[in-house]
């Protein structure tokens, strides 16, 4: 008996996914919440349905499949490379549509030819969407987290600011706010005069001694809070971030990069021209970027019908390189999305780094688009 809400094309889609050398894997609906809370990103964290076990363990209804599939792979201890497919319900609060809906997709783990694996993910996702949501013009948009990271590193910002900007990638509103702060540092939250004096001189030792004396005088227990050394390090870091200002040239370069939006067949040249004009050495990121474009061409993909947008990201913290979405052009509904997440497997407990890329299909949205054909 078909599961309620499952589209009529789901069984055929499941067979098509398995035919991509990606046998199906099933994961429990109830998942430990910690991996999602720690690694999935603020956007997803706000929308997870949380519960608790009898022993107090924090649990959640499965909000997506990438983390559960990766955890299952690690638990099995099987060799890579290996591809998995999945099809099932996910549960998360949505701004539009039901909070319980079906997703399908593929996770490609351990393929060392990253350009080839990236191209296969984009190509497979596009082919599946084209087949099961036929009769609609598709918009394929690519971004690249690693290129953005290379540009930010090349601007010479403190590590704390680099981390903040990278964390905000894909959230254009948050990114714009940070860039505005880098243009005009915020001095509104100035510390008291004594602390400000130590910060102005960069006197970490003096500041730590001052904080320790204040804590002792007020009876503030160091055993129930951060130590004076930890507080000092935090204040010094906060002061560095608050006082950092991008030079006009660097600020213009960052804005120029984020404004890049071109057909994919022009993307390599446009990125190269940008790097030269900005005086940035991002050759390693460029080489990976171009290798992916070549791999897509070798698969017969029409790069002129895809787009690269430098500011494009996806609201999941675990992405490290390629990110992409496929939308039905006339409706704007995102039907598929995915990307590369090379750090996730180690964070989840893999003994060695495992390169990984994957994509998801939103079956309810595909069904909506099919109904309009």
* Chain segment 248-268, per-residue pLDDT in tens: 888 899 999 999 999 999 999
| Domain at 10-144+312-371: CATH architecture | 2-Layer Sandwich (3.30)
Backbone angles phi, psi at 328, to 5 degrees: -80, 115
The whole-number average pLDDT for the span 51-80 is 94
Each residue of 16-61: pLDDT tens digit?
999 999 999 999 999 999 999 888 777 778 889 999 999 999 999 9
Half-sphere exposure of 198 (CA within 13 A, CB side): 17
Whether residue 71 contacts residue 80, with contact meaning beta carbons closer than 8 Å, is answered with no
* pLDDT tens digits for range 207-262: 667 666 766 666 555 444 567 676 656 555 555 555 556 678 888 999 999 999 99
Residue 187 is predicted with a pLDDT of 45
Contact in structure between 44 and 319 (CB atoms under 8 Å) = no
Query: In the chain, which residues fall in CATH 3.30.930.10?
Result: 10-144+312-371
**Residue that wins the pLDDT comparison between 115 and 330:** 115
Per-residue CA distances from 155 to 78, 169, 270 (Å): 41, 16, 19
Structural element, H or E, at residue 223: none
308 strand-pairing partners: 142, 262
Mean pLDDT taken over the chain = 86
Q: What is the pTM of this model?
A: 0.83
Are 90 and 101 spatial neighbours (Cβ–Cβ below 8 Å)?
yes
pLDDT in tens, 158-196: 777 788 888 888 888 888 888 888 777 554 445 556 656
């Amino acid at each position: 008996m078909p599961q309620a809400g499952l589209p009529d094309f789901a069984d055929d889609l499941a067979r098509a996914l398995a035919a991509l050398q990606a046998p199906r894997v099933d994961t429990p609906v109830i998942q430990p919440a910690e991996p999602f809370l720690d690694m999935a990103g603020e956007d997803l964290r706000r929308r997870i349905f949380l519960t608790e076990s009898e022993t107090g363990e924090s649990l959640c209804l499965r909000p997506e499949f990438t983390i559960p599939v990766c955890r299952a792979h690690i638990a099995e201890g099987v060799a890579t490379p290996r591809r998995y497919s999945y099809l099932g319900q996910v549960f998360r609060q949505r701004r539009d549509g039901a909070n319980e809906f079906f997703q399908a997709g593929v996770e490609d783990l351990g393929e060392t030819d990253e350009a080839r694996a990236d191209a296969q993910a984009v190509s497979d996702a596009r082919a599946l969407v084209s087949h099961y949501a036929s009769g609609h013009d598709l918009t394929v948009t690519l971004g690249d987290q690693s290129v953005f990271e290379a540009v930010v590193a090349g601007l010479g910002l403190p590590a704390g600011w680099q981390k903040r900007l990278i964390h905000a990638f894909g959230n254009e509103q948050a990114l714009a706010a940070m860039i505005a702060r880098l243009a005009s540092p915020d001095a509104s939250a100035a510390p008291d005069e004594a602390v400000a004096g130590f910060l102005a001189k960069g006197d970490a030792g003096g500041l730590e001694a001052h904080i320790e004396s204040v804590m002792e005088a007020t009876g503030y227990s160091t055993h129930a809070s951060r130590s004076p050394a930890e507080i000092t390090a935090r204040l010094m870091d906060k002061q560095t971030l608050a006082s950092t200002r991008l030079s006009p040239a660097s600020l213009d370069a960052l804005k120029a990069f984020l404004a890049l939006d071109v057909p994919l067949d022009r993307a390599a040249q446009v990125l190269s021209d940008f790097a030269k004009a900005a005086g940035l050495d991002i050759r390693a990121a460029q080489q990976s970027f171009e290798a992916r474009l070549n791999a897509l061409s070798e698969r017969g993909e029409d790069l002129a019908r895809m787009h690269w947008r430098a500011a494009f990201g996806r609201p999941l913290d675990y992405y490290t390189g390629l990110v992409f979405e496929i939308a039905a052009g006339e409706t704007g509904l995102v039907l598929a999305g995915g990307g590369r997440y090379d750090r996730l497997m180690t964070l989840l407990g893999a003994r060695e780094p495992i390169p990984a890329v994957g994509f998801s299909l939103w079956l309810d949205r595909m069904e909506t688009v099919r109904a309009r054909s």
